[in-house]
Amino acid sequence: MSEEKLEARAITRSVRLSPRKTRLVVDQIRGKPVEKALEYLTFERQKPAHYVRKTLDSAISNAEHNEGLDVDQLVVKEAFVNEGPALKRFRPRAMGRATMIQKPTSHITIVVAQA
């Protein structure tokens, strides 16, 4: 019994964004039809919205070309953000000391499925 796969995914790795701030944008599109999600991301002014939109566009293209799904019936089934490796930098401080600054990165994953 082979069941037809009715979902497609896209992953964007090591994006130079804070996972905490990116999750605020991703939470807004989870469970919505892709048209509504794209509309939201187009007019959202926060920086993560641009990268989330690119990932969503990739997931839609994967669904259309790789899985043969109908774009008009797609829904954002899963959308989540994981922490990527942090870039470590040093900031000079008083009396010859230095402190480490961590610049966070994110892995954005979006799964679209047919409704």
pLDDT per residue over 97-111, tens digit each?
A: 999 999 999 999 999
pTM of the model: 0.92
pLDDT per residue over 44-84, tens digit each?
A: 999 999 999 999 999 999 999 999 999 999 999 999 999 99
- Inside any domain, residue 20: yes
Number of domains in the chain: 1
- Inside any domain, residue 93: yes
- Inside any domain, residue 67: yes
- Cα–Cα distance list, 5 to 56, 64, 67, 70 (Å): 18, 12, 7, 13
Q: Collect contacts of 90-93 with beta carbons under 8 A, ≥24 apart.
A: none
- Inside any domain, residue 86: yes
pLDDT band at 115 (very low <50, low <70, confident <90, very high): confident
- Inside any domain, residue 75: yes
- Inside any domain, residue 1: no
Domain that includes residue 93, residue range = 7-114
Q: Tokens 């969503």 identify what position?
A: 56
pLDDT per residue over 9-54, tens digit each?
A: 999 999 999 999 999 999 999 999 999 999 999 999 999 999 999 9
Which CATH number characterizes residue 108's domain?
Answer: 3.90.470.10
- Inside any domain, residue 16: yes
